[in-house]
Amino acid sequence: MGDAVSDQWGTGDVLGRVLEAMRASGLPTDSTTVEALVPVDHFHARGFKSTQELADNLPVKPGDRLVDIGCGIGGPARYLAQRFDCRVEGIDITPPFVTAGNHLSALTGMQDRVKIVLGDGQHLPYPDQSFDGGYSQHVTMNIADRDRFFAEAFRVLRPGAFFALTEHGLGQGGPVHHPVPWSDDGSHEHLMTPEDTVTRLKAAGFERIRLSETGPKYLEGYRRMMELAAKGDLPRLGVHILLGPDAPAKTRNAAWNIEEGRTRPIEILCFRPV
């Protein structure tokens, strides 16, 4: 199952494509900044804006150690490490993302504070209670064993640590239109209603669970991307280079699913009890 999920997200020379897009947009490729990569390395609905807003609510202190489960090419990890002067360990199941992520961390001089390893969020390679906080942005749509995923997150967090989650939850509006970024045809898709997600988080032991619906904000982001694409104005450096040739269809369907209530995007913040 790992291979199929990772093939959905990224195959081939992802790093080469990012470097090529950097060159095409006039950026140097031997060194860069966390800010310069923002258009391409926050690989989720609304990109960097969502990460910023999520970060605004996270109780992170300088020197903290965080885990980013399903970190992609590491934009959110680098941003949080820089913003809070903390360290972030990222884990992702897609090999070319791990390669690209670590290379981009080195280009931004963040390699000592952001480390990315290859692995499955359902089996975290970290000791118990290693982290002061954790987050997972737009990953759980592909997680078959949600209970195991949440139990693993809980296990590696220290008592009192936060866990933040963003995802496309399942709505009541009927079957999901495909392709979407997480699945071309419904395979390896494991959407869950927000209510079910909260129940599973509680069962894993999390408390103080705060849920917000993010659908309207995501729609704005998808519509903006579709407008730019229609005008041929998409920037050279953007997440469409990670989504691949089906980017327009995936973006349109992601928006359509929200509009018709087939998906219900959410953001959750919760805590491991002290």
Ligand X SMILES: C[S@@+](CC[C@H](N)C(=O)[O-])C[C@H]1O[C@@H](n2cnc3c(N)ncnc32)[C@H](O)[C@@H]1O
Binding to ligand X by CB under 6 A, coded x per residue (else -) over 31-70, reads -----------xxx-------------------------x
Residue type, 143: I
> Which member of 89, 92, 167, 189 binds ligand X (CB under 6 A)?
92
Residue whose entry in the numeric block shows the structure tokens 């069962």:
203
Q: Is 237 in the site for ligand X (CB under 6 A)?
A: no
Residue type, 16: G
Binding to ligand X by CB under 6 A, coded x per residue (else -) over 180-199, reads -x------------------
Q: Is 150 in the site for ligand X (CB under 6 A)?
A: no
Closer residue to ligand X, CB minimum distance, 108 or 137: 137
Question: Sign of dihedral through CA atoms 77, 71, 137, 38?
Answer: positive
Cα→Cα distances 172→176, 187, 198, 213, 222, Å:
10, 19, 17, 14, 21
d(CA 70, CA 5): 11
- Give, as ranges, the residues between 247 and 266 that touch ligand X (CB under 6 A): none
Rg (the chain; Cα; Å): 17
Residue nearest to ligand X (CB): 72
Reduced to 3 states, what is the DSSP secondary structure of residue 214?
coil
Binding segment toward ligand X, per CB under 6 A, in 54-62, 104-112, 119-127, 244-252: 119-127
d(CA 51, CA 267): 11
Residues in contact with ligand X by CB under 6 A are: 5-6, 9, 42-44, 70-72, 75-76, 91-94, 97, 120-122, 137-139, 142-143, 181
